[in-house]
């Protein structure tokens, strides 16, 4: 089998999940499977998927352990040579998989990705997010590690499953930034290639988890862990940590959620729990 489209989900909206699955099954590239890994939802998401009659759809349920573990299980269970990530509330344009498969076969890159079409909660398109090209994999990796916006979205990537397994799969010790960590390792191994096309429709809605300020604080802590894994010199590592912390905090503040206090920030970055009030 050529491609597995992997969708991981936990307590997602039934209509969003159904849209995601239908968009994956409607691809012009037909040599694929759609694998939905349910991270212990109650009720099980399989009840939603029973309504979709297509032998290419597979459902796998696990105990609730978090998205990194669901992704690891998905990579392990996938049957396709290539693996494409699709977020549970997003959609794929009909030629998305064909475009990215052609790109990875021609370039032999470690990871290929593309641009996004932004859609409203009701699915109406309203904008396009173009990502930049990079002259080499080093500049791509640095943009991944330091840029707060990032040069791509996890839901646009396609990669060689065997290479991901060789590199150790997603890192279960990272509750967030696990996607960035694997992308960096794939790019370090074989480079990265941007497809000059829209390969996913990204749904923007009030429930987007990554918009909360508290999430930004945790993101700094785990981005630093990824930096520690990838950067060789202490001087650059500390400088990049400072830049990353400042820009991610500014992004969180700009998004308008400013109720966190400095003590909470220090506790999150040091790995301690938030101090308890007496």
pTM of this prediction? 0.83
pLDDT band at 275 (very low <50, low <70, confident <90, very high): very low
Within-domain flag for 276? no
High-pLDDT (> 90) share of the chain, %: 68
Predicted pLDDT at 244:
55
User: Which of 137-146, 212-221, 252-261 is least confident?
Assistant: 252-261
Is the pLDDT assigned to residue 140 strictly greater than 60?
A: yes
For 19-67, write each residue's pLDDT tens digit.
Answer: 999 999 999 999 999 999 999 999 999 999 999 999 999 999 999 999 9
- Nearest C-alpha neighbor of 167 from the set 110, 113, 217: 110
pLDDT-based confidence at 225, cuts 50/70/90? confident
Question: Quick one: 119 and 30 in the same domain?
Answer: yes
11 and 120 both lie in a single domain: yes
Peptide bond into 43 cis (omega under 30): yes
One domain for residues 180 and 239 = no
Confidence of residue 205 (pLDDT cuts 50, 70, 90): confident
Residue with tokens 């959609």: 91
Among 192-206, 207-221, 251-265, the minimum mean pLDDT is found in 251-265
pLDDT at 263: 45
- Please tell me the distance from the alpha carbon of residue 100 to that of residue 249, in angstroms, as a whole number: 33
* pLDDT surpasses 80 at 264: no
C-alpha closest to that of 13 among 127, 117, 122, 97: 122
> Which residue, of 203, 236, 254, is where some domain finishes?
203
How many domains does the structure of the chain reveal? 2
Assess whether pLDDT exceeds 80 at residue 10: yes
- Tokens 């029973």 identify what position? 50
Mean pLDDT, rounded, for 174-198 = 95
Domain that holds residue 140: 3-203
Same domain, 184 and 266: no
166 and 85 in one domain?
Answer: yes
Considering the domain architecture, whether residues 69 and 134 belong to the same structural domain is answered as yes
Given this model, what pLDDT does residue 174 score?
92
- Domain check: are 30 and 65 in the same one? yes
Q: Mean of the pLDDT values across residues 231-258?
A: 48
Residue 94 falls in which region: left (phi positive, over 0), alpha (psi -120 to 50) or beta: alpha
Query: Residue 175 corresponds to which tokens in the numbers above?
Result: 């509750």
How confident is the model at residue 252, as a pLDDT?
52
Residue 278 in any domain: the answer is no
Query: Does residue 149 surpass a pLDDT of 50?
Result: yes
> Residue 275 domain-assigned?
no
Hey, how many other C-beta atoms are within 10 angstroms of the C-beta on 115? 19
Determine, yes or no, domain membership for 78.
yes
Residue 240: per-residue pLDDT:
54
- pLDDT at position 226 is 80
pLDDT at 276 over 90: no
> What pLDDT, on a 0 to 100 scale, did the predictor assign at position 121?
94
Compute the mean pLDDT over every residue in the chain, rounded to the nearest whole number.
85
> Are 117 and 157 members of one domain?
yes
Residues 174 and 253 occupy one common structural domain: no
The answer to whether residues 30 and 102 touch, using CB atoms and an 8 Å cutoff, is no
Verify that 161 and 225 share a domain, yes or no: no
Domain shared by 247 and 115, yes or no? no
pLDDT at residue 187 in the model: 96
pLDDT confidence bin for 180, thresholds 50/70/90:
very high
d(CA 31, CA 253): 45
Is residue 153 classed as helix, strand or coil in its secondary structure? coil
Q: How far apart are CA 128 and CA 145, in angstroms?
A: 23
* Residue of 111, 133, 249, 87 whose CA lies nearest to 180: 111
For 67-90, write each residue's pLDDT tens digit.
999 999 999 999 999 999 999 999
Q: Clarify whether residues 25 and 72 are in a common domain.
A: yes
Query: What mean pLDDT is predicted for residues 109-135?
Result: 96
Query: Which contacts (CB < 8 Å, 24+ apart) does range 219-224 have?
Result: 219/176, 219/177, 219/248, 220/244, 220/245, 220/248, 220/249, 220/268, 220/269, 221/268, 221/269, 221/271, 222/174, 222/175, 222/176, 222/177, 223/145, 223/177, 223/180, 223/248, 224/269
């Amino acid at each position: 089998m050529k491609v597995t489209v992997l969708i991981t989900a936990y307590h997602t909206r039934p209509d969003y999940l159904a849209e995601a699955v239908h968009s994956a099954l409607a691809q012009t590239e037909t040599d694929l499977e759609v694998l939905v890994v349910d991270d212990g939802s109650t009720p099980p998401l399989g009840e939603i998927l029973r309504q979709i009659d297509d032998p290419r759809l597979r459902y796998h349920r696990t105990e609730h352990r978090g998205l990194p573990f669901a992704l690891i299980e998905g990579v392990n269970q996938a049957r396709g040579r290539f693996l494409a990530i699709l977020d549970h509330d997003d959609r794929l344009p009909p030629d998305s998989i064909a475009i990215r498969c052609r790109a990875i076969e021609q370039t032999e890159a470690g990871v290929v990705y593309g641009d996004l079409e932004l859609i409203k909660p009701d699915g109406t398109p309203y904008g396009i997010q173009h990502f930049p090209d990079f002259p080499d994999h080093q500049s791509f990796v640095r943009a991944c590690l330091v840029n707060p916006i990032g040069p791509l979205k996890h839901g646009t990537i396609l990669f060689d499953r065997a290479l991901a397994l060789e590199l150790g799969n997603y890192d279960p010790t990272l509750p967030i930034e696990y996607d960035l960590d694997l992308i960096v390792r794939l790019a370090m191994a074989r480079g990265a290639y941007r497809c000059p096309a829209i390969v996913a429709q990204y749904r923007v809605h009030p429930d987007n988890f990554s918009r909360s300020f508290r999430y930004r604080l945790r993101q700094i802590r785990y981005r630093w862990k990824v930096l520690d894994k990838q950067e060789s010199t202490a001087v650059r590592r500390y400088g990049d940590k400072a830049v990353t912390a400042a820009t991610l905090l500014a992004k969180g503040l700009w998004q308008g959620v400013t109720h966190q206090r400095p003590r909470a920030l220090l506790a999150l970055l040091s790995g301690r729990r938030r101090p308890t009030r007496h």
